[in-house]
């Protein structure tokens, strides 16, 4: 199960890093062009979401990999779950149902990681 959790952590971290990094690297206008939901938020809010996604990605892997403050890994998973809850609400309000499905899957992965790392498979 530990290997399974590591795989989930790595995949979720890669996805969050890509998503957050894209929001941070692109201008607000370009992000809003490719992601319609971003028009509902200010440039600062979109950048903050991107920064939180990058921090979550780092938190999913680095504490566990280094053995330093390993409690941050399940906390990062909880953070991802909260981000995904917000994303589900945002996309549902905009009737972007395909995005809701993706967010629900990512939410479920984050919950499994948090459960495993807080519970029976903690370090």
Instruction: Report residue 95's pLDDT band, with 50, 70 and 90 as the boundaries.
Output: very high
CB 74 within 8 A of CB 113: yes
For residue 123, pLDDT beyond 90: no
Per-residue HEC secondary structure of 3-41 comes to HHHHHHHHHHHHHHHHHHHHHHHCCHHHHHHHCHHHHHC
| pLDDT score at 112 | 98
Q: What is the mean pLDDT of the chain?
A: 97
Listed residue (50, 41, 109, 99) closest to 77, CA to CA: 109
Angle of helix 2-25 relative to helix 97-118, nearest 10 degrees?
Answer: 130
Residue ranges per structural domain of the chain: 2-118
The DSSP call for residue 96 is: -
Q: For the chain, percent helix, then strand, then coil, each to nearest 5?
A: 85, 0, 15
- 62, with CB counted inside 10 A (0-12, 13-18, 19+), is middle
Angle at 37 between CA 114 and CA 19, to 5 degrees: 45
pTM for the whole thing? 0.94
Q: pLDDT tens digits for 33-87?
A: 999 999 999 999 999 999 999 999 999 999 999 999 999 999 999 999 999 999 9
């Amino acid at each position: 199960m530990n290997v399974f959790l590591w795989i989930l952590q790595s995949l979720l971290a890669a996805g969050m890093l890509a998503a957050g990094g894209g929001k941070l690297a692109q201008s607000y206008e370009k992000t809003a062009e490719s992601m319609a939901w971003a028009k509902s938020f200010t440039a600062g809010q979109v950048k903050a979401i991107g920064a939180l996604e990058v921090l979550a990605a780092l938190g999913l892997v680095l504490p566990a990999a280094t053995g330093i403050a390993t409690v941050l890994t399940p906390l990062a998973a909880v953070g991802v779950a909260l981000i995904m809850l917000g994303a589900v609400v945002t996309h549902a309000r905009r009737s972007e149902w395909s995005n809701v499905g993706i967010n629900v899957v990512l939410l479920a992965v984050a919950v499994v990681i948090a459960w495993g790392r807080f519970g029976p498979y903690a370090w």
